[in-house]
């Protein structure tokens, strides 16, 4: 698909025209990754963060959030629950928590691999090559790191580096791939200051990075962030601003599926936040093939507040599993079995 066509799809709100996009994305999904919806058990095990990103409620400068770190035994109890539920993957996610011991994480990965057959996905922020190498050698299979926007000026504006360091997620994603991880990344839609041209660049970047997993979700303002303060956000919005809507999210997902046909694409919790009754189902019918039921203990879920009013924070892990199975079957899809490894990797 050429850039001109990507831009045309991003800018259209014609429902009749968009039906053709949804159908094409769904057909490409079916032909390349099949009818199975793979389940990734999400475990948000620490909400500590060293960064002060302007969009995230976990930012270091947020003094109003109650911080937590789960113990190894708490984590393993959740991991084993996910294994019992026959999830193919556990996703270990945290803020960029530099207080976590690097070797402790490696040992946790080794233990998960010894006690289960789960694939291990890490989502721990920007890390050094040495740390990433250690965790890969310990058995980690995948790494998720969203580049958020390919517009470097916009990225630096909303995502300041730690003092004394530089932040270049595009280059870091290349390192992650070199180390043998399946590589996951993605963007936010509707960041104040993001143009349609920026988003078209993002979608083309998915392809050039040869991503194994692509996540797209809307910017949802958090009241304890810089971008959550309306006056500051409005001051940098351009006339060509991408809206942070449910519809825009579906369009980006569908386009990502069409130009990266073998990637794994999740119907995210942010979609469920915007549209609790049918957001995930619509995502799955417009290109997605992954969902991420939450394994995080109920007492911690509300504290992992990247953005407010997250879906499913009052559910138990068992509730989440039952809900996901029901939603998948309600649209005539099958619950995936096994690890759900990247078809992109298998083809390369």
> What pLDDT digit, counting tens, does each position of 174-231 carry?
999 999 999 999 999 999 999 999 999 999 999 999 999 999 999 998 999 998 886 4
Let me know if residue 284 belongs to a domain: yes
Q: Do the Cβ atoms of 72 and 51 come closer than 8 Å?
A: no
For residue 347, pLDDT beyond 70: no
Let me know if residue 337 belongs to a domain: no
Let me know if residue 241 belongs to a domain: yes
Range of the domain at 90: 3-331
Residue 13 CB neighbour total at 10 angstroms: 11
For residue 75, pLDDT beyond 90: yes
Angle among Cα 267, 46, 142 to the nearest 5 degrees reads: 50
- Mean pLDDT score across all residues of the chain: 94
Let me know if residue 171 belongs to a domain: yes
The reported pLDDT for the residue numbered 315 is 87
The reported pLDDT for the residue numbered 89 is 97
Let me know if residue 76 belongs to a domain: yes
pLDDT in tens, 119-162: 999 999 999 999 999 999 999 999 999 999 999 999 999 999 88
Q: Do the Cβ atoms of 263 and 206 come closer than 8 Å?
A: yes
For residue 166, pLDDT beyond 90: no
pTM: 0.95
Let me know if residue 348 belongs to a domain: no
CA-closest candidate to residue 158, choices 169, 172, 173, 144: 169
pLDDT in tens, 284-296: 999 999 999 999 9
Q: How far apart are CA 331 and CA 340, in angstroms?
A: 20
For residue 348, pLDDT beyond 50: no
The reported pLDDT for the residue numbered 310 is 83
> For the chain, how many structural domains are there in total?
1
Element (H, E) at 232: helix 230-234
For residue 92, pLDDT beyond 90: yes
Let me know if residue 152 belongs to a domain: yes
Residues above pLDDT 90, as percent of the chain: 84
Q: Which of 16-25, 157-166, 273-282 has the lowest mean pLDDT?
A: 157-166
CATH number at residue 283: 3.20.20.70
Q: How far apart are CA 179 and CA 128, in angstroms?
A: 12
Q: How far apart are CA 220 and CA 245, in angstroms?
A: 9
Angle among Cα 176, 179, 180 to the nearest 5 degrees reads: 100
Let me know if residue 339 belongs to a domain: no
- The arithmetic mean of pLDDT across residues 248-261, rounded, is 98
Q: Which of 13-22, 36-45, 270-279 has the lowest mean pLDDT?
A: 270-279
């Amino acid at each position: 698909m050429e850039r001109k066509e990507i831009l045309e799809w991003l800018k259209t709100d014609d429902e009749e025209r968009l039906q053709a996009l949804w159908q094409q994305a769904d057909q490409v999904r079916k032909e390349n990754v099949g009818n199975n919806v793979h389940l990734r058990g999400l475990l948000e095990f620490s909400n500590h963060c060293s960064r002060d990103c302007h969009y995230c409620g976990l930012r270091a400068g947020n003094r109003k959030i109650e911080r937590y770190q789960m113990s190894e035994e708490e984590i393993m109890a959740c991991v084993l629950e996910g294994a019992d539920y026959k999830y193919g993957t556990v996703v270990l996610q945290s803020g960029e928590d530099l207080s976590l011991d690097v070797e402790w994480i490696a040992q946790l990965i080794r233990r998960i691999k010894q006690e289960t057959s789960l694939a291990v996905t890490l989502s721990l922020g920007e890390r050094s090559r040495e740390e990433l190498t250690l965790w890969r050698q310990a058995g980690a299979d995948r790494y998720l790191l969203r580049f958020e926007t390919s517009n470097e000026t916009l990225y630096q504006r909303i995502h300041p580096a730690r003092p004394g360091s530089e932040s270049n997620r595009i280059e870091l994603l290349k390192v992650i791939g070199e180390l043998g991880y399946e590589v996951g990344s993605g963007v936010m839609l509707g960041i104040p200051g993001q143009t349609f041209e920026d988003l078209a660049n993002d979608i083309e970047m998915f392809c050039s990075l040869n991503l194994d997993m692509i996540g797209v979700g809307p910017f949802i303002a958090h009241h304890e962030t810089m971008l959550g303060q309306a006056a500051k956000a409005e001051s940098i919005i351009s006339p060509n601003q991408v809206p942070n809507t449910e519809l825009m999210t579906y369009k980006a997902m569908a386009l990502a599926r069409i130009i990266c046909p073998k990637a794994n694409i999740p119907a995210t919790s942010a979609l469920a936040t915007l549209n609790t009754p049918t957001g995930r189902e619509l995502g799955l019918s417009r290109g997605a093939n992954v969902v991420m039921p939450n394994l995080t203990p109920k007492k911690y879920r509300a504290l992992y507040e990247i953005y407010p009013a997250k879906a499913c924070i009052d559910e138990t892990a068992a509730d989440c599993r039952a809900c996901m199975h029901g939603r998948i079957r309600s649209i005539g899809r099958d619950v995936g079995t096994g690890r759900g490894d990247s078809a992109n990797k298998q083809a390369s």
